[in-house]
Chain A
Amino acid sequence: MTTIPVQYYLVVAAALFCIGLAISITKRHFIGMLLGIELMLNAVNINLVAFGRHDPERLSGQLFALFVIVVAAAEVTVALAIILRVYGRFRTVDPDKVNELKQ
Protein backbone atom coordinates (compact mmCIF):
# COMPACT_ATOMS: atom_id res chain seq x y z
CA MET A 1 0.00 0.00 0.00
CA THR A 2 1.67 3.14 -1.20
CA THR A 3 1.09 6.10 1.05
CA ILE A 4 0.77 9.74 0.12
CA PRO A 5 3.43 11.97 1.72
CA VAL A 6 2.15 14.22 4.46
CA GLN A 7 3.20 17.33 2.55
CA TYR A 8 0.55 16.70 -0.12
CA TYR A 9 -2.17 16.75 2.51
CA LEU A 10 -0.71 19.93 3.96
CA VAL A 11 -0.68 21.69 0.60
CA VAL A 12 -4.30 20.71 -0.10
CA ALA A 13 -5.30 21.87 3.38
CA ALA A 14 -3.45 25.17 2.92
CA ALA A 15 -5.24 25.79 -0.38
CA LEU A 16 -8.61 24.97 1.17
CA PHE A 17 -7.89 27.24 4.14
CA CYS A 18 -6.96 30.15 1.88
CA ILE A 19 -10.06 29.63 -0.28
CA GLY A 20 -12.18 29.65 2.89
CA LEU A 21 -10.47 32.82 4.10
CA ALA A 22 -11.04 34.55 0.76
CA ILE A 23 -14.71 33.45 0.80
CA SER A 24 -15.32 34.78 4.28
CA ILE A 25 -13.70 38.09 3.37
CA THR A 26 -15.32 38.66 -0.01
CA LYS A 27 -18.87 37.42 0.54
CA ARG A 28 -21.40 40.10 1.37
CA HIS A 29 -23.79 37.78 3.11
CA PHE A 30 -23.60 36.42 6.64
CA ILE A 31 -24.20 32.85 5.55
CA GLY A 32 -21.56 33.15 2.85
CA MET A 33 -19.10 34.07 5.56
CA LEU A 34 -20.23 31.01 7.52
CA LEU A 35 -19.55 28.80 4.48
CA GLY A 36 -16.00 30.13 4.38
CA ILE A 37 -15.52 29.47 8.09
CA GLU A 38 -16.72 25.87 7.65
CA LEU A 39 -14.21 25.37 4.84
CA MET A 40 -11.41 26.71 7.04
CA LEU A 41 -12.35 24.34 9.88
CA ASN A 42 -12.32 21.43 7.44
CA ALA A 43 -8.88 22.42 6.18
CA VAL A 44 -7.55 22.39 9.72
CA ASN A 45 -9.07 18.95 10.25
CA ILE A 46 -7.26 17.62 7.19
CA ASN A 47 -3.97 18.72 8.76
CA LEU A 48 -4.81 17.03 12.05
CA VAL A 49 -5.82 13.78 10.38
CA ALA A 50 -2.77 13.77 8.11
CA PHE A 51 -0.45 14.00 11.08
CA GLY A 52 -2.57 11.65 13.16
CA ARG A 53 -1.82 8.94 10.60
CA HIS A 54 1.60 8.57 12.19
CA ASP A 55 0.18 8.06 15.68
CA PRO A 56 -1.65 4.76 15.43
CA GLU A 57 -1.63 3.88 19.13
CA ARG A 58 -3.21 7.00 20.58
CA LEU A 59 -4.78 8.78 17.57
CA SER A 60 -4.51 12.22 19.18
CA GLY A 61 -4.91 14.00 15.85
CA GLN A 62 -8.14 12.26 14.99
CA LEU A 63 -9.56 12.89 18.47
CA PHE A 64 -8.71 16.57 18.17
CA ALA A 65 -10.42 16.66 14.77
CA LEU A 66 -13.48 15.04 16.33
CA PHE A 67 -13.68 17.76 18.95
CA VAL A 68 -13.22 20.40 16.23
CA ILE A 69 -16.25 18.92 14.42
CA VAL A 70 -18.31 19.10 17.64
CA VAL A 71 -17.37 22.72 18.25
CA ALA A 72 -18.12 23.57 14.59
CA ALA A 73 -21.61 22.11 14.93
CA ALA A 74 -22.29 24.17 18.06
CA GLU A 75 -20.88 27.28 16.40
CA VAL A 76 -23.08 26.95 13.32
CA THR A 77 -26.29 26.55 15.31
CA VAL A 78 -25.63 29.61 17.46
CA ALA A 79 -24.43 31.66 14.48
CA LEU A 80 -27.55 30.81 12.49
CA ALA A 81 -29.80 31.76 15.40
CA ILE A 82 -27.99 35.11 15.68
CA ILE A 83 -28.22 35.66 11.92
CA LEU A 84 -31.97 35.00 11.92
CA ARG A 85 -32.36 37.39 14.84
CA VAL A 86 -30.34 40.11 13.07
CA TYR A 87 -32.31 39.56 9.88
CA GLY A 88 -35.57 39.88 11.79
CA ARG A 89 -34.48 43.20 13.24
CA PHE A 90 -32.50 44.88 10.47
CA ARG A 91 -34.07 43.19 7.39
CA THR A 92 -30.66 42.75 5.81
CA VAL A 93 -27.95 40.12 5.60
CA ASP A 94 -25.18 42.44 4.45
CA PRO A 95 -22.52 42.73 7.15
CA ASP A 96 -21.68 46.26 6.00
CA LYS A 97 -25.20 47.50 6.64
CA VAL A 98 -25.41 46.20 10.19
CA ASN A 99 -23.26 48.87 11.74
CA GLU A 100 -24.99 49.71 14.98
CA LEU A 101 -25.89 47.63 17.98
CA LYS A 102 -29.27 49.27 18.49
CA GLN A 103 -31.73 50.41 15.90
Chain B
Amino acid sequence: MEAIIFYLFSALTLAAGLFILFSKNLIYGAFALFLAFLGVAALYVLAGADFLAVSQIMIYVGGILVLLIFGIMLTQKKEKSDDSTRHNRIEVPITRKIWGFLTGIGLFGLLVKVILSSDFRMAGGEMSSKSTIKTIGVELMTTHLLPFEIAAILLLVALIGAAYLALNRNPTA
Protein backbone atom coordinates (compact mmCIF):
# COMPACT_ATOMS: atom_id res chain seq x y z
CA MET B 1 0.00 0.00 0.00
CA GLU B 2 2.75 2.38 1.00
CA ALA B 3 4.72 1.41 -2.10
CA ILE B 4 1.76 2.22 -4.35
CA ILE B 5 1.37 5.66 -2.77
CA PHE B 6 5.11 6.24 -3.10
CA TYR B 7 5.06 5.39 -6.80
CA LEU B 8 1.96 7.51 -7.34
CA PHE B 9 3.43 10.64 -5.78
CA SER B 10 6.85 10.12 -7.39
CA ALA B 11 5.15 9.85 -10.77
CA LEU B 12 3.15 12.99 -10.01
CA THR B 13 6.26 14.93 -9.06
CA LEU B 14 8.30 13.81 -12.05
CA ALA B 15 5.42 14.34 -14.48
CA ALA B 16 4.96 17.87 -13.17
CA GLY B 17 8.69 18.52 -13.59
CA LEU B 18 8.67 17.22 -17.15
CA PHE B 19 5.61 19.35 -17.90
CA ILE B 20 7.50 22.44 -16.75
CA LEU B 21 10.41 21.41 -18.95
CA PHE B 22 8.31 21.01 -22.09
CA SER B 23 5.65 23.68 -21.69
CA LYS B 24 6.02 27.03 -23.39
CA ASN B 25 3.70 28.91 -21.06
CA LEU B 26 5.33 29.88 -17.79
CA ILE B 27 2.03 30.28 -15.94
CA TYR B 28 1.20 26.65 -16.67
CA GLY B 29 4.73 25.83 -15.53
CA ALA B 30 4.13 27.60 -12.23
CA PHE B 31 0.94 25.63 -11.64
CA ALA B 32 2.76 22.40 -12.49
CA LEU B 33 5.37 23.44 -9.93
CA PHE B 34 2.51 23.53 -7.41
CA LEU B 35 1.82 19.85 -8.17
CA ALA B 36 5.51 19.06 -7.90
CA PHE B 37 5.75 20.71 -4.47
CA LEU B 38 2.70 18.79 -3.27
CA GLY B 39 4.24 15.55 -4.50
CA VAL B 40 7.48 16.32 -2.70
CA ALA B 41 5.53 17.07 0.48
CA ALA B 42 3.84 13.67 0.18
CA LEU B 43 7.26 12.04 -0.20
CA TYR B 44 8.33 13.80 3.01
CA VAL B 45 5.33 12.33 4.80
CA LEU B 46 6.20 8.86 3.52
CA ALA B 47 9.75 9.34 4.82
CA GLY B 48 8.41 10.24 8.25
CA ALA B 49 8.97 14.00 8.18
CA ASP B 50 5.56 15.38 9.06
CA PHE B 51 6.63 18.82 10.26
CA LEU B 52 8.79 19.31 7.19
CA ALA B 53 5.91 18.37 4.88
CA VAL B 54 3.65 20.99 6.46
CA SER B 55 6.41 23.61 6.29
CA GLN B 56 7.00 22.67 2.66
CA ILE B 57 3.35 23.29 1.81
CA MET B 58 3.20 26.52 3.82
CA ILE B 59 6.48 28.07 2.64
CA TYR B 60 6.73 26.82 -0.93
CA VAL B 61 3.10 26.78 -1.99
CA GLY B 62 1.94 29.66 0.17
CA GLY B 63 4.94 31.92 -0.23
CA ILE B 64 7.40 31.11 -2.96
CA LEU B 65 4.93 30.01 -5.61
CA VAL B 66 2.73 33.07 -5.11
CA LEU B 67 5.82 35.26 -5.42
CA LEU B 68 6.86 33.47 -8.61
CA ILE B 69 3.41 33.88 -10.15
CA PHE B 70 3.48 37.58 -9.24
CA GLY B 71 6.88 37.84 -10.91
CA ILE B 72 5.64 36.13 -14.07
CA MET B 73 2.65 38.44 -14.27
CA LEU B 74 4.71 41.58 -13.65
CA THR B 75 7.19 40.75 -16.41
CA GLN B 76 4.75 39.82 -19.15
CA LYS B 77 5.58 41.39 -22.47
CA LYS B 78 2.92 43.11 -24.48
CA GLU B 79 1.65 41.29 -27.53
CA LYS B 80 3.62 42.29 -30.55
CA SER B 81 1.69 44.12 -33.23
CA ASP B 82 1.00 42.24 -36.41
CA ASP B 83 2.57 44.59 -38.91
CA SER B 84 4.15 43.05 -41.96
CA THR B 85 7.58 44.57 -41.42
CA ARG B 86 8.13 42.41 -38.38
CA HIS B 87 10.73 39.67 -38.68
CA ASN B 88 9.44 36.16 -38.99
CA ARG B 89 10.45 33.88 -36.20
CA ILE B 90 11.50 30.35 -36.99
CA GLU B 91 11.74 27.83 -34.21
CA VAL B 92 14.95 25.86 -34.44
CA PRO B 93 16.46 23.63 -31.79
CA ILE B 94 19.05 25.96 -30.39
CA THR B 95 22.23 24.74 -28.81
CA ARG B 96 21.00 25.74 -25.36
CA LYS B 97 18.22 23.17 -25.59
CA ILE B 98 20.49 20.42 -26.86
CA TRP B 99 23.05 21.05 -24.15
CA GLY B 100 20.32 21.19 -21.51
CA PHE B 101 18.92 17.80 -22.43
CA LEU B 102 22.37 16.27 -22.82
CA THR B 103 23.46 17.55 -19.41
CA GLY B 104 20.26 16.40 -17.72
CA ILE B 105 20.23 12.92 -19.20
CA GLY B 106 23.97 12.42 -18.74
CA LEU B 107 23.91 13.51 -15.10
CA PHE B 108 20.85 11.35 -14.46
CA GLY B 109 22.56 8.29 -15.92
CA LEU B 110 25.66 8.95 -13.83
CA LEU B 111 23.68 9.46 -10.61
CA VAL B 112 21.54 6.35 -11.13
CA LYS B 113 24.66 4.29 -11.81
CA VAL B 114 26.24 5.55 -8.59
CA ILE B 115 23.07 5.03 -6.54
CA LEU B 116 22.41 1.51 -7.82
CA SER B 117 26.00 0.45 -7.21
CA SER B 118 26.05 1.90 -3.69
CA ASP B 119 25.50 -0.16 -0.58
CA PHE B 120 24.42 1.95 2.36
CA ARG B 121 24.71 0.58 5.84
CA MET B 122 22.49 2.63 8.09
CA ALA B 123 23.86 3.28 11.55
CA GLY B 124 20.69 4.26 13.35
CA GLY B 125 17.48 2.36 13.73
CA GLU B 126 14.41 2.92 11.63
CA MET B 127 12.21 5.82 12.59
CA SER B 128 9.20 4.94 14.65
CA SER B 129 5.90 6.45 13.61
CA LYS B 130 5.73 9.18 16.22
CA SER B 131 5.67 12.89 15.59
CA THR B 132 8.96 14.65 14.87
CA ILE B 133 7.86 18.08 16.07
CA LYS B 134 9.18 17.71 19.62
CA THR B 135 12.58 16.46 18.50
CA ILE B 136 12.92 19.22 15.92
CA GLY B 137 12.00 21.89 18.44
CA VAL B 138 14.42 20.63 21.06
CA GLU B 139 17.25 20.25 18.54
CA LEU B 140 16.66 23.72 17.08
CA MET B 141 16.90 25.30 20.51
CA THR B 142 19.91 23.32 21.75
CA THR B 143 22.47 22.00 19.28
CA HIS B 144 21.36 24.02 16.24
CA LEU B 145 20.93 27.34 17.99
CA LEU B 146 23.64 29.17 16.04
CA PRO B 147 22.31 28.19 12.57
CA PHE B 148 18.84 29.13 13.81
CA GLU B 149 19.95 32.65 14.74
CA ILE B 150 21.94 33.00 11.51
CA ALA B 151 18.83 32.00 9.55
CA ALA B 152 16.90 34.72 11.38
CA ILE B 153 19.51 37.33 10.44
CA LEU B 154 19.59 36.02 6.85
CA LEU B 155 15.82 36.43 6.55
CA LEU B 156 16.01 39.96 7.94
CA VAL B 157 18.78 40.88 5.50
CA ALA B 158 16.85 39.34 2.60
CA LEU B 159 13.73 41.28 3.60
CA ILE B 160 15.57 44.60 3.73
CA GLY B 161 17.51 43.87 0.55
CA ALA B 162 14.45 42.84 -1.45
CA ALA B 163 12.49 45.86 -0.27
CA TYR B 164 15.37 48.17 -1.18
CA LEU B 165 15.80 46.58 -4.62
CA ALA B 166 12.12 46.62 -5.43
CA LEU B 167 11.74 50.23 -4.35
CA ASN B 168 11.56 52.63 -7.27
CA ARG B 169 11.98 49.81 -9.73
CA ASN B 170 11.15 51.81 -12.82
CA PRO B 171 13.79 54.52 -13.06
CA THR B 172 12.92 55.50 -16.63
CA ALA B 173 9.35 56.50 -15.84
Residues of A within 8 A of B (CB): 1-4, 6-12, 14-23, 25-26, 28-32, 34-36, 38-39, 42, 45-46, 49-50, 52-59, 62-63, 65-67, 69-78, 80-85, 87-89, 93
Contact = CB atoms under 8 A, between A and B. Distances in A.
Given A39-B33, A52-B49, A70 B151 contact: yes
Contacts, number: 236
Interface string B86-109: 000000000011011101110110
A2 B49 CA distance: 16
B82 interface: no
Nearest to B6: A4
Interface residues of B, number: 86
A50 B126 CA distance: 11
Interface string B19-43: 0110000100110010011001001
Interface in B104-129: 104-105, 107-108, 111-112, 115-116, 118, 120, 122-129
A42 B144 CA distance: 22
Contact of B14 (A12, A36, A57): A12
B172 interface: yes
Nearest to B45: A49
Given A26-B97, A38-B64, A81-B166, A3 B2 contact: yes
Q: Which 7 A-B pairs have the closest CB atoms?
A: A22-B104, A25-B100, A74-B158, A81-B165, A26-B100, A19-B17, A14-B111
Main secondary structure of the interface of A (DSSP, over half): helix
Given A2-B2, A72-B64, A83 B75 contact: yes
A78 B162 contact: yes
A25 B47 contact: no
Contact of A25 (B3, B103, B169): B103
B172 to A, nearest CB: 7
B136 A54 contact: no
Nearest to B166: A81
B75 A32 contact: no
Contact of A12 (B13, B48, B70, B139): B13
B126 A53 contact: yes
